[in-house]
DNA sequence: GCCGTTTTCGGCCCGACTGTTTTCAGTCG
């Protein structure tokens, strides 16, 4: 049976949305939103566990547990079906327009009978919307702009890979000002979510913030201004990505950074702890409350660690701030020490121009990897015959081996004689076993037949895992963020096979891939599977991507012990040898 | 609807900005 959590989470999220439009109590709405989050974050398949244990999951109470059981038994949730009957689908669609929330959606529906975006356009054109109480000409103009923008792109989120350079450019433009002490980007980009909705830039300045905001809004990267206040500016950049600026005093830097990094759900958790302690937490610091509950004396604000400590929490790395249990673990001192970039001593997936798609020579790639201070770097050029365009034959592989030997004399770093194998339709890989056993390391990946279904993909990958000459599975789902979704796999079965055989799973650090995803990393860690974090570099510049893989691994709570390339070259060779001994 | 250093009921995070208001509701993050 397939993992049921995602579908369940979607349904509870839909209940929350429909309840909100129906005007339900906001705390009840939030309870359903939290249930949806809790279900998505659960590290176990809710379809598989004891039903009595469902309400043990934080955020799932008696009522939610009942609905989960109902879904498992019947495939539907009665309450959701009823709500769908009450709220027209078109009204839900209206709330997808930025600036138009549930209140306005209900207003235009009840007063004007509008139940679609097309209907809204019409009602705006003939002036009926502007006549409604609380709405006016300016609101209509803003809604038109939102709709125009929505029509121009197919999604409101962009791959983080597309936003990173722009965010760094904005920061660099501001950093040159001498009235600015600190500047960084925060938000979902700092948490390394794989797609982002906007870029959040934070500035610390002890000067007048107004000129800083003016300068930000006047950047030539800015296409239009959405909001222009004294403390906050919002703009649309030339690439269509929204960017927000907040300017705070240097003393509030830590509190503002914590606040502005999010996630929203994480911040709510932390602020709830503050409330229970009679404190107030906002973007300016953590404060005692006076008799009226207003902010009194400031307790902490200068660093994020100070803020967490003030509510008795260990520091939480940004990538873990998603309200998936990290606050409770930070409270009782059991938050895992997640892997950091400094823990990595090697990179186990990279290409030279021996591969058809490699952009740099073996010598250049090796030199660049050595400059990172690595103990080892695996050159995993593509293989033949399964990848005709880019692969190399067994004979070329042996030729390359001579080149590696020659280079090795110049480097302390071990150059691992390795290969990225292709997983064929039946799970076979390119080289014969005797050729595989001559190699130091192999990673096997799917490059063809991406359109095939879950059963086929799972079977071919499981077969590759059983091969004693395969040491890791590369980019497990084949996704390209923002371009194509990954194919489906039975992750539970693959994790089990990896653990049984001593095969690693790769966290591909290319910002276009991030494959495994953070969620899948979490499940792999739970299952006790060994991970690798590798750049899959095709150029010298790609070797800088390691941080994205590390942050993705952090999102899945991976510790140094979970990651093979935190270990020295002897341990790495032992890992390879252990699988061969087990299966041969 | 969920939950507990406020523990089985009474609370539930916090602030900025806009537009339409004349004191604030709606939206967003």
Does residue A158 contact residue A187 with C-beta atoms inside 8 Å?
no
C-alpha distances (whole Å) from A550 to each of A262, A538, A539 are 19, 18, 19
For tokens 């906050």, name the residue.
A232
Q: Which of A6-10, A222-226, A433-437: highest mean pLDDT?
A: A433-437
pLDDT at A98 over 90: no
For tokens 């709830």, name the residue.
A272
For tokens 């490699």, name the residue.
A358
Which of the nucleotides lies closest to A229 (Cα–C1')? B17
Does residue A137 contact residue A124 with C-beta atoms inside 8 Å?
no
The reported pLDDT for the residue numbered A543 is 96
Rounded Cα distance between A218 and A260, Å, is 22
| Strand B close residues, chain A 291-320, CB < 7 angstroms | 295
Bridge-based pairing of strands A414-422 and A376-382 is: parallel
Local confidence band at A155 (pLDDT 50, 70, 90 cut-offs): low
Task: Over range A317-344, report the average pLDDT.
Answer: 94
Rounded Cα distance between A439 and A191, Å, is 37
Instruction: Name which residue leads in pLDDT, A200 or A42.
Output: A200
Does residue A167 contact residue A202 with C-beta atoms inside 8 Å?
no
The reported pLDDT for the residue numbered A154 is 56
pLDDT at A388 over 80: no
pLDDT at A1 over 70: no
Does residue A517 contact residue A194 with C-beta atoms inside 8 Å?
yes
Residue A15: name the closest of A53, A61, A64 by CA.
A64
First-to-last alpha carbon distance for chain A, in angstroms, is 32
3-class secondary structure, A240: coil
Residue A123: name the closest of A106, A139, A138, A140 by CA.
A140
With the C-alpha atoms ordered A438, A439, A445, A447, is the resulting torsion angle positive or negative?
Answer: negative
Rounded Cα distance between A224 and A326, Å, is 38
The reported pLDDT for the residue numbered A162 is 84
User: 10 Å Cβ neighbour count for A214?
Assistant: 11
Bridge-based pairing of strands A198-204 and A182-185 is: antiparallel
Q: Strand B closer than 7 Å to the CB of A261?
A: no
Distance A276 CA to B7 C1' (A): 13
Task: Over range A121-138, report the average pLDDT.
Answer: 91
Q: What are phi and psi of A565, to 5 degrees?
A: -85, 25
With the C-alpha atoms ordered A386, A388, A393, A396, is the resulting torsion angle positive or negative?
Answer: negative
The reported pLDDT for the residue numbered A256 is 96
pLDDT at A387 over 70: yes
Chain-centre distance for alpha carbon A311: 27
Rounded Cα distance between A179 and A432, Å, is 64
The reported pLDDT for the residue numbered A71 is 95
The reported pLDDT for the residue numbered A150 is 80
In angstroms and rounded to an integer, the radius of gyration of the C-alpha atoms of chain A is 26
| Residues in CB range of A23: below 8 A, 6 or more apart | A102, A106
Rounded Cα distance between A189 and A277, Å, is 31
Rounded Cα distance between A361 and A355, Å, is 10
Distance A548 CA to B19 C1' (A): 41
Does residue A241 contact residue A198 with C-beta atoms inside 8 Å?
yes
pLDDT in tens, A448-458: 999 999 999 99
pLDDT in tens, A554-567: 999 999 999 999 99
DSSP for residue A94: H
Distance A298 CA to B10 C1' (A): 29
pLDDT at A152 over 70: no
The reported pLDDT for the residue numbered A390 is 84
pLDDT at A482 over 70: yes
Q: Strand B closer than 7 Å to the CB of A27?
A: yes
Structure tokens, A120: 């809204």
For tokens 């020295």, name the residue.
A568
Does residue A191 contact residue A263 with C-beta atoms inside 8 Å?
yes
The reported pLDDT for the residue numbered A175 is 95
Local confidence band at A216 (pLDDT 50, 70, 90 cut-offs): very high
pLDDT at A156 over 70: no
The reported pLDDT for the residue numbered A188 is 93
Per cent of chain A over pLDDT 90 is: 74
pLDDT at A366 over 70: yes
Element (H, E) at A523: helix A518-526
| Residues in CB range of A442: below 8 A, 6 or more apart | A380, A418, A419, A420, A421, A429, A436, A469, A470, A471, A472
Rounded Cα distance between A328 and A270, Å, is 10
Distance A551 CA to B11 C1' (A): 37
Distance A267 CA to B13 C1' (A): 8
Rounded Cα distance between A546 and A568, Å, is 18
Query: What is the reported pTM?
Result: 0.90
The reported pLDDT for the residue numbered A171 is 96
pLDDT in tens, A355-365: 888 999 999 99
Instruction: Name which residue leads in pLDDT, A243 or A146.
Output: A243
Show which positions of strand B are touched by protein (CB under 7 A).
Answer: 1-6, 11-21, 25-29
Distance A181 CA to B21 C1' (A): 39
**A401-416: b or e for each residue (b if 16 or more CB lie within 10 Å)?**
eebbeebeeeeebbbb
Residue A140: name the closest of A121, A113, A156 by CA.
A121
Which of the nucleotides lies closest to A103 (Cα–C1')? B26
Rounded Cα distance between A242 and A170, Å, is 12
């Amino acid at each position: 049976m397939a993992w049921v959590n995602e579908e369940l989470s979607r349904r509870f999220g839909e209940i929350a949305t429909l309840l909100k439009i129906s005007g339900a109590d906001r705390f009840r709405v939030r309870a359903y939103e939290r249930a949806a989050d809790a279900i998505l974050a659960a590290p176990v398949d809710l379809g598989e566990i004891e039903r009595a244990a469902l309400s043990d999951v934080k955020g799932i109470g008696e009522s939610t547990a009942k609905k989960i059981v109902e879904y498992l038994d019947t495939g539907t949730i009665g309450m959701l079906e009823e709500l769908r009957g009450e709220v027209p689908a078109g009204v839900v669609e209206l709330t997808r327009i930025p600036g138009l929330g549930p209140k306005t959606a209900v207003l235009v529906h009840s007063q004007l009978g509008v139940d679609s975006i097309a209907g809204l356009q019409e009602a705006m054109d003939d002036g009926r919307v502007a006549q409604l109480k609380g709405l006016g000409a300016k609101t209509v103009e803003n809604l038109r702009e939102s709709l125009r923008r929505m029509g121009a792109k197919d999604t409101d989120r962009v791959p983080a890979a597309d936003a990173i350079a722009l965010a760094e450019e904005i920061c660099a433009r501001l950093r040159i000002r001498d009235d600015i002490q600190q500047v960084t980007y925060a938000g979902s980009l700092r948490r390394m979510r794989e797609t982002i909705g906007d870029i959040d830039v934070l500035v610390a300045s002890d000067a007048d913030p107004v000129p800083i905001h003016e300068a930000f809004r006047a950047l030539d990267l800015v296409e239009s201004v959405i909001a222009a206040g004294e403390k906050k500016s919002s703009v649309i950049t030339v690439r269509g990505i929204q960017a927000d600026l907040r300017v705070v005093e240097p003393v509030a830097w830590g509190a503002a950074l914590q606040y502005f990094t999010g996630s929203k759900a994480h911040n709510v958790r932390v602020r709830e702890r503050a409330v229970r302690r009679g404190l107030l937490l906002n973007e300016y610091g953590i404060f005692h409350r006076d008799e009226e509950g207003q902010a009194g004396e400031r307790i902490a604000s200068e660093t994020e660690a100070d803020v967490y400590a003030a509510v008795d929490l260990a520091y939480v790395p940004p990538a873990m701030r998603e309200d998936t249990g990290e606050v409770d673990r930070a409270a009782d001192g059991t938050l895992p020490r997640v892997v950091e970039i400094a823990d990595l001593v090697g990179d186990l997936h990279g290409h030279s121009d021996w591969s058809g798609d490699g952009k740099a020579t073996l010598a250049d790639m090796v030199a660049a990897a050595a400059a990172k201070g690595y103990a080892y770097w695996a050159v995993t050029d593509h293989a033949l015959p399964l990848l005709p365009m880019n692969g190399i034959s067994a004979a070329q592989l042996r030729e390359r081996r001579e080149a590696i030997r020659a280079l090795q004399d110049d480097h302390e770093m071990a150059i691992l004689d390795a290969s990225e194998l292709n997983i064929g339709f039946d799970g076979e890989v390119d080289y014969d076993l005797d050729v595989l056993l001559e190699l130091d390391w192999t990673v096997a990946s799917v490059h063809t037949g991406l359109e095939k279904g879950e059963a086929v993909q799972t079977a071919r990958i499981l077969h590759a895992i059983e091969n004693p000459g395969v040491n890791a599975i590369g980019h497990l789902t084949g996704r390209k963020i923002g371009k194509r979704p990954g194919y489906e796999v039975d992750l539970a079965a693959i994790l089990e096979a990896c653990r049984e055989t001593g095969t690693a799973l790769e966290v591909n650090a290319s910002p276009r891939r991030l494959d495994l995803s953070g969620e899948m990393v979490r499940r792999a860690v739970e299952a006790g599977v060994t991970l690798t974090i590798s750049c899959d570099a095709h150029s010298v510049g790609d070797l800088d991507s390691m941080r994205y893989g590390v942050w993705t691994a952090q999102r899945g709570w991976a510790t140094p012990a979970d990651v093979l390339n935190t270990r020295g070259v002897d341990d790495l060779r032992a890992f390879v040898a252990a699988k061969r001994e087990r299966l041969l």
